[in-house]
Structure 1
Amino acid sequence: MMWAMGAMLAGAMAGMSADATQPDLMPLPRAVVTEPGALAVRGAFAVRWAGCGNMSFLDSAIRRLQTDVTRETGLILDGQSAVPVTVRCRDARAGVDLGEGYTLRVTATGIAIEAEGPMGVLRAFATLRQLVGLSPQAIALPLVTITDGPRFAWRGVMLDPARHFIEVATLKRQIDAMERVKLNVLHLHLSDDEGFRVESRRYPRLTADDAGAFYSQAEIRDLVAYAAERGVRIVPEFDVPGHSRAIVAAYPEVGVTGKKLFLGRPDVALNPASPATYRFLARLFGEMAALFPDRHFHVGGDEVAKDVWEDSPDVRALMARERLADRKAVEGYFMRRVSRIVAAAGKQMIGWEEVAAAGVAPDAIVQAWQTSNAIAAAAAKGHRTIVSAGYYLNLLMPAGYHYAIDPFATSAAGLTPAHAVGLRELNPLLAAIVTDALVDFPRDALSREQEARILGGEAPLWGEIADDALIDQQLWPRAAAMAERFWSPASVTDVPDMYRRLAIVADQLSVTGLADRATRQRMAARVAPGESDPLETLLAITGPVRNMAHDHRIKAMLAGKRIVQPLNDLADAAPVDSLAAHRFAAQAQAYVGGDHSQRAALRAQLMLWRANDARFAAIAKGRPMLEAALPTSAQIAALAEAGLAALDAIETGKQRDPAEARALLDTLAAQEAASWRPFDSFLRQQPPADLIVKIGPGIRILVEAAAAAR
């Protein structure tokens, strides 16, 4: 395994693309001009600053850059051979979304950076990290001029410590990686039914001994400062009036519990009719706002249970008094009062897309999450909008799926109308669940005025099946592809090239601190101590089923049961995107296109996969978790055999009957399709061990070329 890792690291350090004309960067910059030659780096960076303001902030940034260069290269630099770096800022203000543009020039004599502001310096340093490469002599930077700046000001990810608590050290690792790919917003979902995760001194029962883990106020201040130093703002979310079971459990006087049961439990929400509720929120939000200096404050506002307020005399009286016609009107009343509370705390309110439908004022920022239609609807009402529809990383879709959705798209994410009709016709339960809010109807493109209201994008990773140990590998490297979608020009859409560069960036992120690969190795070693190599080989080319198909709690609840799902299955250990499978497909495409230098690597890889079945079967005996994946291992071997036979046919110029191989590939395609669309994942049979084999595209390229051989 060590030689393979060494080969990957060598590729990561190459620093230049396959055609050696453009640096392999992610996100891709606006403009890149290269020249022949390289700048040899034998010593530390010696920076001269001009007009950049806060030197403590910038000195820390250059120390991090230097540390990461050492991590990436493993070289000890000569302390006597400093590399001159000049940095000039046009504006010394250091707001996280101010002055992120920059020009970076690497010449034969040194490096020059001209940045719009201190944040532009951080973004230039992120690019400089990725330019670092190895030559036989030393580190070498390509001679290049890069002009760059973000397409969108809001480029974020969302993590969910409410459902599975995330340790501070884990959050800091994500912030470090965010800096390296120019993401600048970390949205933390800090309260939900499962818990309230920030210490409150006004309301200590929220984090009482039996309420679960939480962050102390000192930890929050430390985390916020850590993120700010790296150009990342932290936006807190405290979800109301729904998703508030933890709040109501601690302070029942501010809640309403419905009489109707849903999946065995009554619904809970805050009481919109009680003055005590608003006093509670004013004090709580005031306390929380003081901990988070960012001007934005997220209040949720999503998924209020349909009937939770139905039997409340207080709510009925409120509706009569305020002339509120229905539940949505009650939500609107509540959210308007909450928006005033947030404004009194000196913050700008953000809410999920439901707040726009409830009729909050246009100055509220809306986060669209269910469909691309919600983006168009919110922008049409005058709301500044954050786009999360199509970017839900917890659905375990591949990076290429999310990457293909532009934040300006008005019809790209959600159920198609035809799919929705088919689901509704299956049974009455689905007819009630599949509302028009989930359907992506054809919509006109945004006007220029509406486009100006799109702040950017944010990729959520909800925590139902992502605990602390899994955050790194479920978030990365897909979040790097999202960073490119939110930063780079709209014209950057080449998915194969994205995957090629993603493999390089993924290596760099792992070398500089992420625990994604370490997590997979640790999980494999836990299942098969001392003999985990065959398991790691299998995991490298498989991935988990999608669209919550791996969330077994949902099927259990639909059957009237409740289970706790351990997150240590093979489907938890497998990467969401198999970069090894993408690399194999790219090699196969190059080979059938005439690059015969790929033949030996393809054959060696296929032989390894074919032989791995016997090795995996040997370690699986007596281990139920591994035995569940025996059909997966056999499927990989059969596909590898088909690939080898196709290679033989191509090399001899003899056509090969593709029927048997196509049948294998069609089975694989059906397994992948079983969880490709929402709701299908609960209605269709999933593959063994919840694992999808990912080498199908590469094998199909070879099979079809063999069928056409002359």
Structure 2
Amino acid sequence: MKTQYSLIKRTSLITLLITALFTTYSCANDDDNNSQPNISSKNIEIIPQPVSLEYGSQRIEMPSVVSISKDIPSTMQKLLEKSITDYKVASSINIEKNESAFISTKIDNSLSEEEYELDITQKSILITHSTQQGLLWGIQTLRQVLMQAESSTKGDFSIPTLSIKDTPKYAWRGFHIDLARHMFSLDYLKKVTDCLSLYKINKIQLHLTDDQGWRIEIKKHPNLTTVGGWRHFDEYDEECIKLSHTDASYTIDERYIRNGKEYGGFYTQDEIKDFVTFATSVGIEVIPEIDMPGHFSAAIKAYPELSCTGSSGWGEEFSYPVCAGKAKNHPFLYDILDEVMTLFPSKHFHIGADEVEKNNWKKCEDCQRLIAEENLMNVEGLENFFVNNINSYLNKREKSTMAWDDAFYKKEPQEMIYTYWRDWLPNQAGTITQAGFPVVFMEWGNFYLSATPSDEQLQSLYNFKFEPKFKGIVKSNILGFQACIWTEMIPNEQKLGHHLFPSIQAYTEVAWGTASNWDSFKKKMNWHLKHLTKEGFYVRTPDFIKK
């Protein structure tokens, strides 16, 4: 039996070898007949990983003149043109009718809002979508394919035939940047925004005000920027200056230094409008954050009457807040909200409402009078009353209010979107979602990218799971995720780049919902970091790439 089995095994092996040789020869002949190069073993490193990606058996040689469908909006055409031109994939580009274009589109209303399909065949490239947002994500994936085209000895470029079906698991894939501690030019913020769009991040939250500075022009109250927009170097500035003597990446951007000892500046309303227009053109919603009633020192420094004490200052843990008991403060705050709302078409408006120092309220006659009149019980009830007033004002203007999870008052919660960050309260997200309220998940431990970046932090972010730490979450009430950068120790573009990249690449696979294989992700990063460097970004090179 053993001898007979061995003979059958050898015969089968010979048959398989003959079949494989014939198949290889036939494919080679097919390639020769169709002038197609053989399929390369090198795959395209797409981030975030598509839900479904199947490679064909051949590659397609890029035409010297690439025609793009005129049905593709001009802003998206320019994105394709940039990738084709920067990577010299073709010698020229034409805009043609959809039916005759090399890169064409098709509408399929059965697809969801951000869903797309990308089909690259031997003759053409087709992007199927139901909305402009889905089309944009298909184009961003195609850009990554085109930028990784392989060149032959003749100078021709080819890409693999493939079929992609892709849609995000989470609708909210945000990025939060603190501009109060340290500023960045709007040209640089546009550049970052363009990069975020490439990786299918669809929201940016601008942290425009805090104790350390007021960064947005309010025409009705100019002292907010002329006074509140500047500070004498604080402890973090001094630490950055000290570290910069041995590490240039801590050098404070001199564009925001005045008199050698003050830091500050602000964005004009026209600059904000320009930035929002740009971000919108690349599919990103820009959400303003005006932090109140706490973290309001910059405004109180400019207008001291806003506080309970008539001055700015610091309590046991946090800064003096707006006096919630002074009725005359509300029109001032509404003025700010009104001007900011005109600049941001986003339906979302973030009011902060975190880390409110309430000791002044306990001693303030106005605050205590309001607590008694409205039967608010205590200063926690007063904070909720304040948040409710601001929330109602925004709702009447068709804005959806957002606040940090500190603002969740279990006794009488407000109808808002809560951004959960306090991971030392692991049940908080579960409590809020169980009460039926939507949450954007951005807990401190993984989604704050401000800590010293490391490979361990990167892997922890990539492998994030809700369980077992964050129990009881109603996942249908999780809108999605948000990565967050606080800039106390990030005073320039170089340092910001080190924190952003490659953390953003890991984050976007988590937010898109396709993070699954750490080893596979690591292999992707070599090309992406090279691309980012080519685009002029500073990046951190992980140890696994150095090796």
Whether the TM-score (by the shorter chain) exceeds 0.5 is yes
Q: Which of these residues, 451, 455, 458, is aligned with residue 399 of structure 1?
A: 458
Please state if 1:232 is matched with 2:194: no
Matches within 5 A, 1:79-90: 84-90=102-108
Per-residue CA deviations over 1:35-70 (Å, capped at 9, x if unaligned) read 1111111335322355xxxx6xx1221112221232
Question: Counterparts in 2 of 1:579-594, with a 5 A limit?
Answer: 579=542, 581-583=543-545
Select 1:124's aligned residue among 138, 149, 165.
138
Pair 1:26-2:47 in alignment: yes
Q: Secondary structure of 1:308's partner? A: helix
Give a deviation string over 1:291-314, Cα, whole Å, max 9, x none.
100000000010012423222121
Are 1:63 and 2:78 an aligned pair? yes
Q: Indicate whether 1:476 and 2:497 are aligned.
A: no
Q: CA 1:143–1:110 in structure 2 vs 1: closer, same or farther (change >3 Å)?
A: same
How far apart are 1:257 and its partner, in Å? 4.1
Distance in 2 separating the partners of 1:260 and 1:48: 58
Maintained 8 Å contact 2:288/2:349? yes
How far apart are 1:355 and its partner, in Å? Answer: 1.3
* Structure 2 residue matching 1:452: 3-state secondary structure: helix
Q: Tell me the secondary structure at the aligned position of residue 484 of structure 1.
A: helix
Change (3 A) 1:228 1:122: same
Aligned partners of 1:354, 1:360: CA distance in 2, in Å? 13
What SS class does the counterpart of residue 405 from structure 1 fall into?
Answer: coil
Q: Which residue, 168, 172, 182 being the options, matches 2:190?
A: 172
CA deviations over 1:136-170 (Å, ceiling 9, x no partner): 14222110000001111110111111111121011
Q: Which residue of 2 aligns with 1:516?
A: 538
Tell me the residue number matched to 1:101. 115
Mapped to 2, the partners of 1:260 and 1:228 lie a distance apart of 37
- What root-mean-square deviation, in Å, do the aligned CA atoms of Structure 1 and Structure 2 show? 2.7
Q: Residues 279 and 510 (structure 1 numbering): CA distance in 2 closer, same or farther, change over 3 Å?
A: same
1:304 counterpart (323, 341, 356) = 356
Q: Residue in 1 aligned with 2:430?
A: 376
1:160 aligns with 2:219: no
Other-structure match for 2:156: 138
CA-to-partner distance for each residue in 1:520-576, whole Å, 9 max, x for gaps? xxxxxxxxxxxxxxxxxxxxxxxxxxxxxxxxxxxxxxxxxxxxxxxxxxxxxxx3x
Within the candidate set 37, 48, 68, 2:58 is matched to 37
Separation (CA, whole Å) in 2 of partners of 1:28 and 1:79: 28
1:486 maps to 511
How far apart, in 1, do the equivalents of 2:179 and 2:378 lie? 33
Query: Contact conserved, 1:91 with 1:99, CA < 8 A, in 2?
Result: no
Aligned with 2:498: secondary structure?
helix
Distance 2:206 2:546 in 1: 37
> Matches of 2:122 and 2:277 in 1, distance apart?
37
Q: 1:19 Cα deviation (Å)?
A: 9.3
Q: Is the 8 A contact 1:89 1:118 kept in 2?
A: no
Note if contact 1:352-1:368 (Cα within 8 Å) is conserved in structure 2.
yes
The partner residue of 1:339 within 391, 399, 403 is 391
2:344 to 292, 310, 315: 292
Q: Answer yes or no: is the 8 Å Cα contact 2:180–2:212 preserved in 1.
A: yes
Q: Secondary structure at the match of 1:270?
A: coil
Matches of 1:39 and 1:163, distance apart in 2: 49
1:160-239 matched pairs, under 5 angstroms:
160-208=178-226, 211=229, 212-239=264-291
| One-letter amino acid of the structure 2 residue matched with residue 59 of structure 1 | S
1:149 corresponds to 2:167: yes
What are the Cα deviations for residues 229-254 of structure 1, in whole angstroms up to 9, with x where unaligned? 00011000000010000111112222
Q: Does the residue aligned with 1:69 lie in a helix, a strand or coil?
A: helix
Residue type of the partner of 1:381?
A
Is the Cα–Cα contact under 8 Å of residues 481 and 502 in structure 1 kept in the other structure?
no
1:228 aligned counterpart, secondary structure? helix
Alpha-carbon displacement from aligned partner over 1:219-238 (angstroms, at most 9, x marks no partner): 01100000000001100000
Deviations 1:604-641 (A, max 9, x none): xxxxxxxxxxxxxxxxxxxxxxxxxxxxxxxxxxxxxx
- Confirm or deny: 8 A CA contact 1:43 1:77 kept in the other structure: yes
In structure 1, how many angstroms separate the alpha carbons of the residues matched to 2:110 and 2:186?
30
CA distance in 1, matches of 2:189, 2:310: 36
1:109 Cα offset (Å): 0.3
> Are the structure 2 counterparts of residues 92 and 65 from structure 1 closer, same or farther at C-alpha, using a change threshold of 3 Å?
farther
1:330 aligns with 2:292: no
Instruction: Find the residue that maps to 1:283 and give its secondary structure.
Output: helix
How has the CA–CA distance of structure 1 residues 476 and 245 changed in structure 2, closer, same or farther, with 3 Å as cutoff?
A: same
Deviation at 1:319, TM superposition (A): 1.9
Amino acid at match of 1:227: A
Residues 215, 262 of structure 1: alpha-carbon distance in 2 compared, 3 angstrom cutoff: closer
- Other-structure match for 2:330: 278
- Aligned residue for 1:455? 479
Structure 1 residues 384-431: Cα deviation after superposition (integer angstroms, max 9, x where no partner): 11000130000234321112213xx1544xxxxxxxxxxxxxxxxxxx
Alignment partners' CA distance in 1, 2:353 and 2:317:
21
State the Cα deviation string for residues 337-389 of structure 1 (Å, max 9, x = none). Answer: 11011112321000000111365645300000012432212111211110001
Alignment partners' CA distance in 1, 2:312 and 2:440: 34
Task: Report if aligned partners of 1:26, 1:502 keep a CA contact under 8 Å in 2.
Answer: no
Whole-Å separation in 1 of the counterparts to 2:317 and 2:478: 38
Task: Compute the displacement of 1:509 (Å).
Answer: 2.6
In the TM superposition, residue 213 of structure 1 has moved relative to its aligned partner by 0.7
Contact in 1 for aligned 2:403/2:419 (Cα 8 Å): yes
C-alpha displacement of 1:516? 0.9
DSSP-derived class of the 2:371 partner: helix
- What's the counterpart of residue 499 of structure 1? 522
Which residues of structure 1 form unaligned runs of 5+? Answer: 1-17, 413-441, 518-574, 586-710
- TM-score between the two structures when normalised by the length of structure 1: 0.61
Task: Give the deviation of 1:461 after TM superposition.
Answer: 0.3
1:466 to 1:383, Cα distance in 2 relative to 1, 3 A: same
Q: Give the conservation status (yes or no) of the 8 Å contact 2:308–2:322.
A: yes
Q: TM-score, normalised by structure 2?
A: 0.78
CA contact (8 A) 2:228 2:301 kept: no
Q: Would you say the 8 A contact 1:260–1:307 is kept in 2?
A: no
Q: Aligned partners of 2:156 and 2:378: how far apart in 1?
A: 70
Aligned partner of 1:139: which letter? F
1:205 positional shift: 1.1
State how many pairs are aligned.
Answer: 459
Q: CA 1:514 to 1:379, structure 2 compared with 1: closer, same or farther past 3 Å?
A: farther
Measure how far apart 1:128 and its partner are. 0.9
Paired with 1:266 and 1:459, the residues of 2 have a C-alpha distance of 24
Query: In 2, distance between residues paired with 1:44 and 1:356?
Result: 57
Contact 1:162 1:196 in 2 (8 A): yes
Quick one: structure 1 residues 266 and 292, their matched pair in 2 at CA, closer, same or farther if it must change by over 3 Å? closer
Q: Is the 8 A contact 2:296 2:322 kept in 1?
A: yes
Identical-residue share of aligned pairs (%):
24
**Higher relative contact order (Cα pairs below 8 Å, separated by 6+ residues):** 2
Structure 2 CA distance, aligned partners of 1:296 and 1:264? 32
Aligned 1:336-375 pairs, distance under 5 A:
336-357=388-409, 361=413, 363-371=415-423, 372-375=426-429
How do 1:248-287 residues align onto structure 2 when only pairs under 5 Å count? 248-257=300-309, 267-287=319-339
Contact 2:388 2:414 in 1 (8 A): no
Deviations 1:148-202 (A, max 9, x none): 0111111011111111112101110111101111001111000000111111111
